[in-house]
Chains A and B, each alone.
Chain A
Amino acid sequence: MEHLPEMHLQHPATVEEAVKLHAAAPASRYLAGGSDLLVNIRRGIERPDSLVYLNGIAELHTITDGLEQISIGGAVTLRELAESQLLRKPFSAVAQAAGKVAGPSHREYGTLGGNLCLDTRCVFYNQSEWWRAANNYCLKYRGDICHVAPGGKKCFAAFSGDVAPALLLFDAEVELAGPDGRRRIALAALYRNDGMDHLTMTRGELLVAVHVPKIPAPVRTGYAKSRVRGSIDFPLAGVAVRLGLQDEKIADLRIGLTGVSPLPFLVRGLDKFVGRKPDDACLEELREVVRGQAKAMKTTLTPPHYRRRVAGALAQKLAESIF
């Protein structure tokens, strides 16, 4: 692995100062946990000339229990998120997802903002410079061919953050700060279906916080993922389920997916399950709906058909076990 190249390091004390420092050095990157960014810099797939260090900004480290929403700062660590008392039922899926990111040392440092803004990953991309050079690079960086789908001009690198699909269950919003001030958008609107450019944030924008509306309905949620090693690793497929029952029938059903496409997303077409009993036949049908929308491509060493099947199976199991 290469040494880190020479870089400036800036230490802002406020969000606004961070944005200004970033704007003054257009090739800079925001650095919080660094568990992904520093590795990518070493691999030569990120080449910033300066880093704007976010951990000194107090605002980014707070979790606030508001009347109508829980607000979580972008630099809150994944361990803090996993252990937060505020993220118990019905927000269990968020805490579970954070607790299933990588290993314990990564969760001590990795942040919510970093996990939401994680770069898309692919077996042809997350490699050393010499590996990629020997393979003539790829569409996502420096190359002109996608080795996953050589006939096309689309990049299929998969979004692999665990927390996003869980937050999508709750219509979470993200607060962004940029040169033009602050704005709030739905978390779903943070992403687009393009492995080369999957974030809709404009250059220099910073994820300040996530706002999770409190929900009145009695629902239960959970998160499960499949990975090469059960104790660590990015998701081959990650599934977040939100299920509410009334009179033993499904009244509320949402499923978020990650690891199977360039963006995390909510499964479509689940309305048809509302009003049905969650019996075996119903859950098997649910499994097939999820499998049909988990369009994993050859971005990992594990074959795509396994990841599609396991996404469906995880959704079925979670829905069974949640109540």
Chain B
Amino acid sequence: MAKQHITTTINGEETEYLCEPQETLLDVLRDQVGLTGTKEGCSSGDCGACSVMLDGRLVCSCLVLGVEAEGKTVETIEGMADGDELHPLQQKFLEEAALQCGFCTPGVLIAAKALLDINNDPTETEVRYWLAGNLCRCTGYDKIIRAVMDTAADMRGA
């Protein structure tokens, strides 16, 4: 099948790639662009490990085709830190040990940042509902929720 030429912006950099129509954005990010921070978990939209931002919208990149990124802006976990300076969420996850194996963490961080970008004072329930699409088999969620709440508090205080 003819590959399609796609031009998109990934983490602020204009990027071009060729992709088959049936390749997902996740396939493209990992296998062609080399951004393997975004993880493949279930490939059915259940686990959220592949969460990225597409034109400012939180999506599961396994449910988006690579060609859909044409002309759009993609943000992945690789673009979250500012150089060597971690995003406050990343820093707080480290400080509070809100991860164990780390496989779900990129998706959780992307989703949590999406929430804090629109609501910097979420209730615990709001955080839990927002992160419902991000499964973690290690932490039991409590530390993740606390880290997000604490980051929000820090960012409000800053």
Measured CB to CB, the residues of A under 8 A from B are: 1, 3-9, 33-35, 38-39, 42-43, 51, 53, 55, 102-106, 108-109, 229, 231-232
- Secondary structure class of chain B's binding surface, majority of residues: mixed
Cβ contact within 8 Å between B132 and A4: no
**A231 partner residues in chain B, CB cutoff 8 A:** 128-129, 132
Given contacts A106-B45, A109-B57, A231-B128, contact A7 B64 (CB under 8 A): no
> Does B80 touch A at the CB level, under 8 Å?
no
B22 lies within 8 A of A7 (CB): yes
| Smallest beta-carbon distance A253→chain B, Å | 30
- What are some 10 contacts across the A-B interface (CB < 8 A)? A3-B22, A6-B20, A7-B1, A33-B63, A38-B24, A42-B43, A103-B130, A103-B132, A104-B111, A104-B115
* A34, B128: Cα distance in complex, Å: 25
Complex Cα distance A106/B65, Å?
A: 14
Instruction: Please report the C-alpha to C-alpha distance between residue A103 and residue B51 in the assembled complex, in whole angstroms.
Output: 12
Which listed residue (B42, B59, B132) contacts A1, Cβ 8 A?
Answer: B42
- B interface vs A, CB < 8 Å? 1, 4, 20-24, 27, 42-45, 48, 51, 57-60, 62-65, 67-68, 111, 114-115, 128-130, 132-133
Given the complex, which residues of A lie within 8 Å of B68, measured CB to CB? 53, 55
- Contact residues in B for A43 (Cβ distance below 8 Å): 44
| Contact of A34 with B21 in the complex, beta carbons under 8 Å | no
CB-defined contacts of A4 to chain B, threshold 8 Å: 22-24
Output the least CB separation between A300 and chain B (Å).
16
Nearest residue (CB) in B for A232 is B132
Residues of chain B contacted by A229 (CB below 8 angstroms): 132
Known: A1-B44, A104-B111. A39 touches B65 (CB 8 A): no
| Inter-chain pairs besides A8-B21, A9-B21, A106-B60, 13 sampled, C-beta below 8 Å | A1-B42, A6-B1, A6-B20, A6-B21, A9-B67, A38-B63, A42-B44, A102-B45, A103-B48, A103-B130, A104-B58, A108-B59, A109-B64
B111 touches A39 (CB 8 A): no
CB distance from A8 to the nearest CB of B (A): 6
A34 & B64 in contact (Cβ 8 Å cutoff): yes
Q: How many Cβ-Cβ contacts under 8 Å join chain A to chain B?
A: 82
Closest partner residue, chain A, to B48 (CB atom): A105
CB distance from B82 to the nearest CB of A (A): 24
| Complex A-B, nearest 6 residue pairs according to Cβ-Cβ distance, in ascending order | A103-B133, A231-B132, A9-B21, A1-B43, A4-B22, A232-B132
Most buried by A among B43, B45, B114: B45
Q: Report B128 CB to chain A, min CB distance, Å.
A: 6
Task: For A34, list chain B residues within 8 Å (CB).
Answer: 63-65
Q: How far is the CA of A232 from the CA of B132 in the complex (A)?
A: 6
Chain B residue with the shortest CB-CB distance to A9: B21
Chain A, residue nearest B51 (CB)? A105
Least distance between A28 CB and chain B CB atoms (Å):
12
Complexed CA–CA distance, A9 and B67 (Å):
9
Give which listed residue, B23, B65, B111, B128, contacts A105 with CB less than 8 A.
B111
| B59–A105 CB distance below 8 A | yes
Q: Which residues of chain A are within 8 angstroms of B114 by Cβ–Cβ distance? A: 104
A43 to B45, CA, bound (A): 13
- A157→B43 CA distance, assembly (Å): 23
| Known contacts A4-B22, A4-B24, A108-B59: A35-B45 contact under CB 8 Å | yes
Contact, CB under 8 Å: B57 / A108: yes
A9 touches B45 (CB 8 A): no
Residues of A within 8 A of B65 (CB): 9, 34, 38
Chain B nearest CB, measured from A224 CB (Å): 15
What is the distance, in angstroms, from A135's C-beta to the closest C-beta of chain B?
19
Q: What's the least CB distance linking B143 to chain A, in Å? A: 18
Pair A39/B21 contact, Cβ less than 8 Å: no
- Given the interface pairs A1-B44, A9-B67, A39-B63, the reply to whether A104 lies near B21 with Cβ below 8 Å is no
On whether the beta carbons of B63 and A108 are closer than 8 Å, the reply is: no
Tell whether, in the assembled complex, residue A104 and residue B63 are in contact, meaning their CB atoms are under 8 Å apart.
Answer: no
Complex alpha-carbon distance, A38 and B43, angstroms: 9
Chain B residues with CB under 8 Å of A6's CB are: 1, 20-22
Query: Are A104 and B133 interface neighbours, CB within 8 A?
Result: yes
In the assembled complex, how far is the CB of residue A13 from the closest CB belonging to chain B, in whole angstroms?
A: 14
From A5, which residue of chain B is reached at the shortest CB distance?
A: B22
A219 shortest CB reach to chain B, Å: 28
Minimum CB–CB distance for A108 against chain B, Å: 4
Please, how many angstroms separate the alpha-carbon atoms of A231 and B22 in the complex?
30
